Structure 1
Amino acid sequence: MALQLQIVGNAMQMAVVQLQPGQTVYCEAGKFLFKTVNVSMDTRISAPNGNQQGGGGQGGGGGMGGMLRQAMGTAMQAGQRMLAGESIAFQYFTAQGGEGTLGFAGTLPGEMRALEITPGRAWLAEKDAFVAAESGVNFGIAFSGMRTGMSGGEGFILEKFTGQGTVIIAGAGNFIDLNLSDFGGKLQVDTGCIVAFEEGVRYGVERVGRMNRQGVMNAMFGGEGLSLATLEGNGKVILQSMTLEGLANALRKAQGGDKEGATGGLFSTRVQ
């Protein structure tokens, strides 16, 4: 059944979800806000198994062999999430004996979006975008773009959503919806601006703006350069108007922690 939800708020949006009896959603730790008392909550290390209504799961038979395979799969999934810096456990919520209401939110000021996942339409999202999803949605980690990125010191860790159901994502600032076909099938984007894109979109990560001998790039980019993702193909892309790095720099300035300026002093100004 379709997930009923309403996204409310402006600068800091939240999703209010209406669960039908027996319906289950899950989220990462730190994204849950509130629930009605008839909604049960359970914390598990195992990732959702997606389309479980068939009862067969991933197959492989029962008995000790099946249990061992399931345990190994759970350990591998938890290891991937740890390596990606994600929460190890998920929180599951199920409506008991009637409709239930609960709320979720992201961790930064910005927008939220509900994406519909189908067997032929998967989505990938940046690693902090996931908020909550129906139990029919598979959650996975994709270590992608690493070959391109390694030469430039960069890689891309993504969350991958397959199966069927609704997944809720969040980003910083405002969302920008683009279709690569409107830009000739190719677009270069600051990696910090990427929120999500449809499976099938090809991408690579490269570093530009390296420091020259005079240290000009060091002054302009803090010695880090700029990471660009090249997105290619035909598919939808969701960008965010605010990057985490930009937000962190703004907070440092507001707290007086960057008196020399974010550019390392070359273009800095000081108020006496």
Structure 2
Amino acid sequence: MTLKQQIVGNAMQMAVCTLQPGQTVYCEAGKFLFKTANVSMDTRLAGPGAQRQDQGGAAGGGMGGMLRQAMGTAMQVGQRMLAGESIAFQYFSASGGEGTVGFAGVLPGEMRALELDGSRAWYAEKDAFVAAESTVDFGIAFQGGRTGTSGGEGFILEKFTGRGTVIIAGAGNFIDLNPADFGGRIEVDTGCIVAFEDGVRYGVQRIGGLNRQGIMNAVFGGEGLSLATLEGDGRVILQSMTIEGLANALKKAQGGDKQGPTGGLFSTHAG
């Protein structure tokens, strides 16, 4: 059952979803906006994929099924904690007719509804996920050449599989690219990646070192620049503003940048 949804708004977009009786969507904590009275809300630790496995285990019965259920839920919660995600999901289901529920991202920018047909997974940057149908499984993937807890570098990604609608959000405006249209490879600021299809290979390279360019990077942009490499054939969604860039702009607008253009070498503070 396709999720009926509408993206509304300009600078800060929202997704308004119409649920049919028995249809369920889920979101991360903090993304829910409003609902009609006939839409129930439930908070659960397990994602939809784990729940289907749990139901299968419960059908088998016995202590073994209960143990597998507990272990599956614990693994999901542990992965989300490692990635810095919310440990629980909120589920919304309609009863007694159509129901309406609204969701929003946490940053000013665009939203996008992705339609999964089961043939390809989608990967999204940390915090991009807003909501999805219960037929879509949420997981954590480690990519980029090395693993770690630095979601800002793009090493920890959200993974969506199955069939149904996934709603994502980003900062600023979106642009859609395909590496295949640019010789098979594009290089992107890691903070600009929102999502990409399975089939696109993802890596990270560090630019900058103890040379002239590295010194210039250290003075004007930190100690170097991380570039994401995206190769292959598939859709890539980029955002025009990074979270770090937005935070710096807000800090300067509030008069909080007292350290000169770098916040380091030209600082007016002695220590």
TM-score, normalised by the number of residues in structure 1? 0.90
- Corresponding residue of 2:194: 195
Query: Which residue matches 1:85?
Result: 84
What displacement does 1:212 show?
4.4
Cα distance in 2 between the residues matched to 1:98 and 1:149: 45
| Aligned equivalent of 2:39 | 39
Following the alignment from structure 1 to structure 2, what is the Cα–Cα distance between the partners of residues 169 and 148?
A: 23
Distance verdict in 2 for CA 1:242–1:57, change over 3 Å: farther
User: What's the C-alpha RMSD, in Å, of the aligned pairs?
Assistant: 2.6
The runs of 5 or more residues in structure 1 that have no matched partner are none
For 1:119-268, list aligned pairs within 5 A: 119-147=118-146, 156-210=155-209, 212=211, 215-223=215-223, 225-264=224-263
Superposition deviation, residue 265 in structure 1: 6.6
CA-to-aligned-CA distance 1:56-111 (integer Å, 9 cap, x gap): 74799432111111110110110000000000000000001110001000000000
Q: How far did residue 144 of structure 1 move?
A: 1.3
Paired AA for residue 101 in structure 2 = L
Rounded Cα–Cα distance in structure 2 between residues aligned with 1:76 and 1:263: 41
Q: Distance in 2 between matches of 1:59 and 1:231?
A: 42
Cα pair distance change 1:245/1:122, threshold 3 Å = same
Question: Cα–Cα, structure 1 residues 45 and 51, in superposed 2: closer, same or farther, change >3 Å?
Answer: closer
TM-fit CA distance, 1:222: 2.6
Give how far 1:218 is off.
Answer: 1.8
Structure 2 unaligned regions, length at least 5: none
Between the aligned residues of both structures, percent identity stands at 77
Q: Find the residue that maps to 2:218 and give its secondary structure.
A: helix
Query: How many equivalent residue pairs?
Result: 264
The answer (yes or no) to whether the contact 1:148–1:206 under 8 Å persists in 2 is no
Amino acid at match of 1:157: I
**Cα offset, 1:169, TM superposition:** 0.2
Query: How many Å separate the matches in 1 of 2:45 and 2:54?
Result: 20
Output the amino acid matched with 1:31. Answer: K
How far off its partner does 1:55 sit? 9.8
Question: Does the CA-based 8 Å contact 2:45-2:77 persist in structure 1?
Answer: yes
**Structure 1, 231-240 or 178-187: larger mean CA deviation:** 178-187
- SS of residue in 1 equivalent to 2:48: coil
Report the Cα distance in structure 2 between the residues aligned to 1:197 and 1:236, rounded to whole angstroms.
6
Q: Contact conserved, 1:145 with 1:205, CA < 8 A, in 2?
A: yes
Q: 1:245 to 1:211 in 2, by over 3 A?
A: farther
1:24–1:92: 8 Å Cα contact kept in structure 2? yes
Alpha-carbon distance between aligned partners in 1 of 2:46 and 2:259, rounded to the nearest angstrom? 47
C-alpha spacing 1:202/1:45, structure 2 compared with 1 (3 Å): same
C-alpha deviation, 1:146, in angstroms: 3.9
**Residues of 1 paired with 2:14 and 2:86: CA distance?**
20
1:49 aligns with 2:37: no
SS of the counterpart of 2:255?
Answer: coil
In the alignment, which residue of structure 2 is the partner of 1:112? 111
Match of 2:23 in 1: 23
Please report how far the alpha carbon of residue 242 of structure 1 lies from its aligned counterpart in structure 2 after TM superposition.
Answer: 0.3
User: Matches of 1:51 and 1:29 in 2, distance apart?
Assistant: 18
User: Following TM superposition, by how much is the alpha carbon of 1:147 offset from its aligned partner in structure 2, in angstroms?
Assistant: 2.8
Deviation digits for residues 90-133 of structure 1 (CA, Å, limit 9, x no counterpart): 00000011100010000000000000112212100001100000
The whole-number CA distance in structure 2 between the counterparts of 1:6 and 1:82 is 31
Structure 1 position 259, deviation (Å): 2.8
